[in-house]
A = this chain, B = another copy of it.
Amino acid sequence: MIDPVTPSILMSVQSGIEVFAVIAFALSGLAAGLRVGMDFVGICFVAGVSAFGGGTLRDVLLDRRPFFWVEQDHLLWLVIILCLLASIFVRRSHAELTEKWIQVPDAIGLGLFAALGTQIALIEGASIIVAVLMGVISSTLGGVLRDILCNVVPKAFSDHQPYIALAVLGSIVLVGLDRLDVTPWISLVVAVVITTVTRLIVLALNVSIPAWRA
């Protein structure tokens, strides 16, 4: 069980994970926006929705206030600066924005938010299934909204590669380690690594799950 009076090492790890998850999803969002030819404001919008969408719904559903981006509003500035740098870099370098530029940060953000969302829900006293659900929602919503804004059918539903399933896996691992009384920040790191690494392997090997109906 996680002690509600969370010791400071756990809080530091959680804060770090939140920052990295926001950066990862912001990168995937701005790459997606750049690919479809949005202007600067559009890119900031998509990056922001990708980065903050999942965590905001998590906080609404768990009734946590203030939102994490109100408490730490430097994250908002960070996303704007990232968008600015990326836009300049892409213009200067004429780099080709391949699908990988979206998928790799997305895989990192997926693992980070799935584990973090599940742990936050457990700390707030949620039941196992609700905690897993919070991990899944907070890690997948950003990407789904990003795809909808870019007018793409959400990859989470359409590409038949494990994606939501890996968020579920990471969330279940975290719940399991929590029940085994593993130190919370270690559980967090392990669950993140499992989801992200598995997702990266899935992408590298092009693993696919069959649809139920051929």
Contacts and interface: CB of A to CB of B under 8 A. Distances in A.
Interface of A: 34-35, 37-43, 45-46, 56, 60-61, 63, 65-67, 69-70, 73, 76-77, 87, 90-91, 97, 126-127, 129-130, 133, 148-149, 151, 153-154, 156-157, 160, 162-165, 168, 209-213
A123 to B, nearest CB: 15
Contacts of A209: 39-40
A212 B40 contact: yes
B157 A212 contact: no
A37 B212 CA distance: 6
28 contacts: A34-B212, A37-B211, A38-B157, A39-B212, A40-B212, A41-B164, A41-B168, A42-B156, A42-B157, A42-B164, A43-B212, A45-B156, A60-B60, A61-B67, A63-B65, A70-B126, A70-B130, A73-B127, A73-B130, A76-B129, A76-B130, A76-B133, A77-B129, A87-B212, A90-B213, A91-B212, A97-B213, A149-B157
A151 B153 contact: yes
A15 to B, nearest CB: 18
Contacts of A69: 130
Given A37-B213, A39-B160, A73-B130, 18 more contacts: A37-B211, A37-B212, A38-B157, A38-B211, A39-B165, A39-B211, A41-B163, A41-B168, A42-B164, A45-B164, A56-B61, A69-B130, A73-B127, A73-B129, A90-B212, A91-B212, A148-B148, A149-B154
A153 B212 CA distance: 23
Contacts of A211: 37-39
Contacts of A42: 156-157, 164
Contacts of A130: 69-70, 73, 76
A106 to B, nearest CB: 16
A199 to B, nearest CB: 13
